[in-house]
Amino acid sequence: MSPVEKLLSELPDAKKTGDGWSARCPAHDDRQPSLSVSEGQDGRALVKCHTGCSVEAVCKAVGMMPSDLFATPTVSTSTKPRQPRETIGFCGQDTDKPAGNTFVSANVAIKELERQHGKSSNVWTYRNAQGEPAGAVVRWDRPDGKKDIRPVSLHADGWRIGGMPEPRPLYGLQALTDAKRVYVVEGEKAVEAARSIGLVATTSAHGAQSAGKTAWSPLAGMEVIILADNDIAGRQYAEEVRSQLAKLAQAPVVKEVELPGMPEGGDIADFIAAHAGTPPHELRRMVEALVAKAEPSVSAPPPVSVQQFQRFPIEALPEPTRNFVVAGSKAIGCDPCYVALPQLIVLASAIGNTRRLRLKSSWSAPPILWGAIVGDSGTAKSPAFALVMRPVQQYQQKAIKRYANAVKSYEVELVRYEKALSQWKRDGDSSDAPPENPVAPQPERFIVSDTTVEAIVPVLLANPRGVLMSRDELSGFFGSLDRYAGGKGGADAAFWMETYFGACVVVDRKTGPMRTISVPSASVCLCGGIQPGVLRRALGVEHRESGLAARLLLCCPPRKAKRWTDAEVAPETEAEFAQLLGRLYGLLPIVNDDGEMQPVAVGMTPEAKTLWEAYYNANGREQVDLTGDLAAVWSKMEECAARLALVIHLTRCAAGDPTLQSVDLVDAASMTSGIKLAEWFKQEARRVYALLDETDTVRDQRRLVEWIASKGGVVSPREVQSGCRWLHEPGMAEAALNELASDALGDWTNKPTTVKGGRPSRVFHLRAESAVDETSIGPDENRGSVDADSADGPELRTPDGEWGEL
């Protein structure tokens, strides 16, 4: 069924009109047919509501997605008959006219190339980490056996004929997510040939000389097999790929394999053609046999010491927030950071645009924080998040009731106004001023969950102090960032990054009474939970390199077995926290001469300024030696320490802390707490990024270290074999412990026997610097409990390798 046929099947009243169809629009109460449907030259469905409904609204009304309006994607290879090419573009008018040097879709750009060069032979699509088209490579096979290649690519203003912006995605990026071995070849045709025999393969875009312009980080920690073309250019390409892979933080194991019998310039496609008639699985076996004999050309570094999980610095929190975190984590049975992180963000959102910390005349830090509590299902992140969000939701419900009452009063005043206006018009006395039109009430919002720009901008306009974006599952937030917005992918991501700084944003809308909306200070705090594997896929290369990921404060405590507890959060403890929030919500900004809201500038005491300068300089020295993700994190944590100090200061003010030096100045105590929290989040970011990029070997080593720590730091091989299911085979437990000992993570000792004449048994002692901080997860918490990783009952077993997605 074509896209047009699928859409028309959902519009029972559609009628044929000329070259298309007309129907009543399902997105609004349409009494006269106002929806036009036609078929584009590339097979897509063209939709237009003449009353202004968006394409997204029409699709939603009939249970479709905007992507359903496009022709079904097909893969084109040189070994198969030519198929209709994939539609890569946007909903809208099907026009062949470029907007300046840009085109409305990839298809239109490709049509322009074919107008110049004739019908193409193949088109290969490159996609970004979110699966959206980022570019395409068009190929023409010439009669003389040579080829012509032309790229088209997506830019901020549309599609262009030319190379993709840097860094470019790998070809077939989505197929690499769960792979352990990836073959790198030269060219998209070679990739498709490798895939035809069951190999996971990829290549970089735009020729052998452009390998350095591609993001190779998705291959970190994998086994990479380079199948170079049999010529000088192919060998140079292989060398450049090895060089790029060696720069990754988690360097992969790299092997280079020469396929036998290849002609000059030949590649894997020629190898397959030379063995015509051989089954694909047999060809794959032949290639894998060559891989097994090859020696690594770049060795993976030895497993690094497992990053130690540091105890969250609860002492940095002022009362009553500290008591709330302690009571909440004890009642839920989770690590304190699962309560502390969302609590800090809720406090920051309650302050909103009312205050800023003045670092110098040209730099002030807003109390805007983003965070993610990271953990697998069953780690109690959702109950912890719900506990913190409960008072915010209560304030929101009260505000909704106030708004409902205000609407009722407004409706009464509106009726009175209309009567008075009619009377004023009948009197015809222009000397009297007309009656004053009542102002419609605006709903007060503390919390939002809709991530679309169209939804959030009016809320921010009506609530200039800012809001809290709360998502129990942050995957939905990340999934919305790169949707098509106004015909340009990634527009939402750019908008959200501006809200992190409380910047002025201007948004143009297609519908509504206000087509252009300006929010002077778009302030949104963000918090939610997410699973580690989902986080890795959601961030991808794009959001890590754009700096969006670095804005997130992260916490991901080691998993531990659950134990029943009768502990509960006392009602007075929850009430104290709720009252504290109420006082922060009551903070007021100043209003300038133009009637605009401006935050109150908070300064620093001389002692706090000295601490800030020392932290700033130390952070800068650390950042010089960092690259990639951590360099970006350290850059954002520079100001984040000041933001945290401001939140701590205002929380102390609201709590009536008698030790506070001044309401108008952040003192040394608040700055010390902000810096201590920032240092913890920096180290946790280092640890979480290592988890996201770790190899299977490092992952298993980490899990083993955390398991041993939960058992008190001393175990025998037999205990490991029975307690760690991934080491249940004979000999595996002792071998794994030997690896820990060789990596200086622990030591063997002999345990004396109590049996006369018996032999002493060997036990493994985990070194203190390798163990999980016992103040966070200590042996007493798990002693005598059931370990979810070792339980035999199916109701307690977790899927093999809870971090396996990483």
Residue 52 has pLDDT above 80, yes or no: no
Express each pLDDT in 720-758 by its tens digit: 988 888 888 888 888 889 888 877 778 888 766 554 555
Q: What average pLDDT does range 418-435 have in this prediction?
A: 82
Q: Is the peptide bond before 320 cis (omega within 30 degrees of 0)?
A: yes
In a domain, 587, yes or no: no
Residue 778 has pLDDT above 50, yes or no: no
In a domain, 621, yes or no: yes
Residue 41 has pLDDT above 70, yes or no: no
**638 and 738, same domain (yes or no):** no
**687 and 712, same domain (yes or no):** no
Domain boundary among 640, 672, 691: 691
Which 8-state DSSP code applies to residue 711?
A: T
**575 and 654, same domain (yes or no):** yes
On whether the CB atoms of residues 39 and 28 are closer than 8 A, the answer is no
* 169-183, 472-486, 731-745: range with lowest mean pLDDT: 472-486
**275 and 333, same domain (yes or no):** no
| Percent of the chain surpassing pLDDT 70 | 85
Query: In 195-328, where do the E strands start and end?
Result: 201-202, 223-226, 253-256
How does residue 627 score in pLDDT terms, banded at 50, 70 and 90? Answer: confident
Q: Residue 540: left if φ>0, alpha if ψ -120 to 50, beta else—which one?
A: left
Domain boundary among 32, 57, 72: 72
Residue 512 has pLDDT above 70, yes or no: no
**667 and 572, same domain (yes or no):** yes
Express each pLDDT in 1-14 by its tens digit: 678 878 887 887 88
Express each pLDDT in 540-549 by its tens digit: 777 777 788 8
pLDDT at 483: 53
Express each pLDDT in 339-367 by its tens digit: 999 999 999 999 999 999 999 999 999 99
- Give the C-alpha separation, 484 to 195, whole Å: 30
pLDDT at 513: 57
On whether the CB atoms of residues 277 and 311 are closer than 8 A, the answer is no
**713 and 662, same domain (yes or no):** no
Q: What average pLDDT does range 563-579 have in this prediction?
A: 93
Task: Tell me the residue range of the domain where 199 lies.
Answer: 173-293
Residue 11: which of 41, 33, 42, 39 has the closest Cα?
Answer: 33
**614 and 675, same domain (yes or no):** yes
What does the CA dihedral 389, 394, 395, 400 come to, rounded to 10 degrees? 120
Q: Are strands 600-604 and 355-360 parallel, antiparallel or unpaired?
A: parallel
pLDDT at 511: 59
In a domain, 301, yes or no: no
**260 and 328, same domain (yes or no):** no
- Beta bridge partners, 765, equal 714, 747
**228 and 352, same domain (yes or no):** no
* 62-76, 262-276, 324-338, 495-509: range with lowest mean pLDDT: 62-76
Size of the chain in residues: 806
Report the chain's C-alpha Rg in angstroms: 31
Q: How many domains does the structure of the chain reveal?
A: 4
In a domain, 240, yes or no: yes
In a domain, 65, yes or no: yes
